[in-house]
Amino acid sequence: MTTERALRGAPPHRLLDSLRVSLARHIAALSVDLLLVDYGLTSLRPVEPVQARAGVQHVPMGSGPAGRAFATQQPYLSGGDGPTATAFLPVTVRGERCGVLVVVLPSDRVAPRSIEDLAQVAESLGHALRVAERHTDLYRRTRRAHPLSVAAEMQWGVLPGRSCAGAEFDLHAYWEPSYTSGGHVLDWCVTEEELTLVVGNGTGPGTRSALLSNLALNAIRNARRAGLDLVGQASLTDQALYGQHRGERSLSALLLSFARATGEVRVVDAGSPTVWRLRGGVTERIELERQLPLGMFEDTVYATQRLSVLPGDRLVFVACDRGETTPDGDDESLDRSVGPAVDRTGHVAGRDTPQAVVRALREAPGTMPDDILVLCLDWHGRDPGTERREPAGEDARTV
């Protein structure tokens, strides 16, 4: 497509300028603007090219047609009765919601095919943005509704994003505070055979915690990319953290590997965030055998547990800053708040569930930890016609 070639050939900071020229030439577009979601998921903010122009203003989240297109992830057409119409198109990359493309065009150019073509353009723009962000600060700067702390800058620099989608799953994450936190650990990797997840409890605000989580995340990635299994990943990370901090600082984390074909799950629970399952309208916590946090002692030996997930299952991971006290100072008090918060989101779309859980926790009685990360994994499984294996081994169980 000509527009895709224009995006590939444009300088990183001029993607929008190139898109304006291309769409004006091919569909007589009168204006083209891009709204990017801010780090806190509170507003959609316009990208201003190097030579700023008078364009659209920032839009509060959930407001107007742009907010509708972002929330539903469906194109939305406004107007058309007069001389012009405005198309609002979600910009998404493999499940990661980036923003909304806003295109004003003559009403006589509006047709179902043209909207479909514009939706493809928005998808191509999303992929181009991912590459361009490596070479310019323009788009990351646009996403800031407030200044980021140094710790938050470090965190956003290493975390993979908020969402990922595959044929068998959708996962979405949200964490607070978004502009000052530095202790969250989150990562995933997708291959043909498996989905690997890492979720770590917050370790507190500030650059000291950001350095700890950064070291842990890179150690896990290093081990995974070297071909080590979950036990190897946990062991190498444990050694890296202990070697740096000699047990004074540690990280509680879950490492999981989901077999995409069967739903079998291998888990290493190193102190762990809590995991909740929604199945058939019932919400319950998955009880795992906790092992020592990463980096607490030298040469800790870790072991895997075996679980399985079924099509239609939803897993909600809740990680928080364990350095802060919960209302009663123990896990049970936190569970009493988390369980109802997760249960209330049973009919909420997966992409909105993490933020809804955090909001419910903030509204719950008592004092919640300042740093909270929630990850929602919706498991679809393979097509029913695809053969499924039962979990193997006596230690396998369905959760």
Terminus-to-terminus CA distance in the chain, angstroms? 47
pLDDT of residue 337: 82
Q: How many CB atoms lie within 10 A of CB 257?
A: 21
Q: Tokens in use for 393?
A: 């081994």
| Residue with more model confidence, 363 or 197 | 197
The whole-number pLDDT of residue 385 equals 57
Least confident stretch, 71-75, 161-165, 181-185, 303-307: 181-185
Contacts of 114 (CB under 8 A, 6+ apart): 27, 105
Architecture of domain 150-379: 4-Layer Sandwich (3.60)
Which two structure tokens, joined as six digits, stand for 132? Answer: 């361009």
Predicted TM-score (pTM) of the model is 0.89
Tokens of 59: 């839009």
Mean per-residue pLDDT of the chain: 89
Quick one: 395 exposed, middle or buried, by C-beta within 10 A (0-12, 13-18, 19+)? Answer: exposed
Position 389 confidence tier, pLDDT thresholds 50, 70, 90: very low
Chain-centroid distance of CA 164 in Å reads 7
Within 13 Å, how many C-alpha atoms sit on residue 274's CB side?
Answer: 22
pLDDT for residue 231 is more than 70: yes
- Please give the pLDDT value at position 69: 96
What secondary structure letter does DSSP report for 226? Answer: T
The residues, any chain, with a CB within 8 Å of residue 299's CB and separated by 6 or more, are: 238, 239
Residue 51, pLDDT > 50, answer: no
pLDDT above 70: residue 384: no
Res 395: pLDDT: 37
Domain ranges for the chain: 2-142, 150-379
| Structure confidence by residue, pLDDT tens digits, 114-146 | 999 999 999 999 999 999 999 999 999 999 999
| pLDDT for 284 | 94
For the chain, list the strands marked E by DSSP: 31-37, 43-46, 59-60, 76-79, 84-93, 96-106, 163-165, 169-176, 185-190, 194-200, 253-259, 264-270, 274-279, 282-285, 305-308, 314-320, 372-379
Q: What pLDDT, in 10s, does the model give residues 157-172?
A: 999 999 999 999 999 9
The angle subtended at Cα 266 by Cα 265 and Cα 268, nearest 5°, is 135
Q: Does domain 2-142 have CATH number 3.30.70.260?
A: no
Asked if the model's pLDDT at residue 278 lies above 90, the reply is yes
Question: What is the rounded average pLDDT of the residues 183-187?
Answer: 92
In this predicted structure, the answer to whether residue 363 has a pLDDT above a threshold of 50 is: yes
How many angstroms separate the CA atoms of 359 and 366, rounded?
14
